[in-house]
Amino acid sequence: MDAGSSARSTHELKRSVFLGNLPFNVQEETLRQQLSCCGEIENVRLVRDAATQHGKGFGYILFKEAGAVEVAIGLHEKISLPGPDKKPRAVRVFRCTTTPPQPPHNRHRRRAVARARTQAVARAVARAQRQP
Summarised one tens digit per residue, pLDDT across range 52-72 is 988 999 999 999 999 999 999
Question: Residue 121 above 90 pLDDT?
Answer: no
Say which DSSP state 102 is in. Answer: P
User: How far is Cα of residue 92 from the mean position of the Cα atoms in its chain?
Assistant: 10
Domain boundaries, position 8: 3-95
| pTM recorded for the entire structure | 0.68
Task: Specify if 107 maps to a domain.
Answer: no
Domain total of the chain: 1
Task: Specify if 105 maps to a domain.
Answer: no
Task: Specify if 101 maps to a domain.
Answer: no
Pairing relation of β-strands 80-82 and 92-95?
unpaired
Say which DSSP state 26 is in. Answer: -
Quote the CA–CA distance of 26 and 82 in Å, as a whole number.
9
Instruction: Report the CATH number that the domain containing residue 76 is assigned in CATH.
Output: 3.30.70.330
Task: Specify if 120 maps to a domain.
Answer: no
Average pLDDT over residues 117-126: 85
- Counted residue by residue, the chain has a size of 132
